[in-house]
Amino acid sequence: MPDLNSDSTGLEREPAAAATLFGERLDLARAFTASLAEQGEERGLIGPLELPRLWTRHILNSAIAAPLFHGSVADVGSGAGLPGIVLAIARPDVEWTLIEPMERRVAWLDEQVAALGLSNVTVVRGRAEEVGLSARFDVVTARAVSALRTLLPWTAPLVRNGGELALLKGANAENEITAAQKQIRKFLLSDVRVETLGEGVLDETTRVLRATVRG
């Protein structure tokens, strides 16, 4: 029998929550999702099993965090544009810097920024610890990049004094906090906690590890 949750290409059908999360910018989200579905596997951006859950697990999983961001934000290891491109669509009032070391992924990000007309996005090629950006961002985010104890040396130095980390994490987030106590102290993090977003809105909730950085 055909999968009623997917279209003829295997892409997951757009969930109703997409209209709520993207509002008048839904068409941009649709365009990005369609491009990722069409080119993502071929260009090594997503795995071969992701199409039937692309909206739920990746697009909306990123978009639900949009209200957490303000001012200037860096997305470390932006990759396919998750969450950076998705969040830039949802929050055109925020300035986004997408940091990505791999040339082919940087090319993808540049193409999407141009195609979608995202004037609030800058793409920077390099590793976060090497690109020479100062601690000037109001918020720094990352999604599915690394465990917290490895991620903190890459992200915390980019946050201005009093700014925030808002890292999209998996089910193991609380354990990652326990394992990263040394790094949490070293980078002067406070109010470290995990927040669950999307309950009652999304089929799969999003966990965000948040902390204030006192540099």
Amino acid identity for residue 118 in this structure: L
Residue 43 marked as a ligand binder: no
Structure tokens at 7: 């279209």
Residue 103 marked as a ligand binder: no
Residue 24 marked as a ligand binder: no
Residue 91 marked as a ligand binder: no
Structure tokens at 187: 């980078």
The DSSP output letter for 143 is B
Of 80, 53, 72, whose CA–CA distance to 143 is shortest? 80
Residue 45 marked as a ligand binder: no
Q: Are 150 and 186 in contact (CB under 8 A)?
A: no
φ and ψ at 172, to 5 degrees? -90, 15
Q: Alpha-carbon distance 107 to 123, whole Å?
A: 9
φ and ψ at 123, to 5 degrees? -105, 130
Q: Alpha-carbon distance 33 to 55, whole Å?
A: 7
| Residues contributing to the annotated binding site for S-adenosyl-L-methionine | 77, 82, 128-129, 143
| Residues contributing to the annotated binding site | 77, 82, 128-129, 143
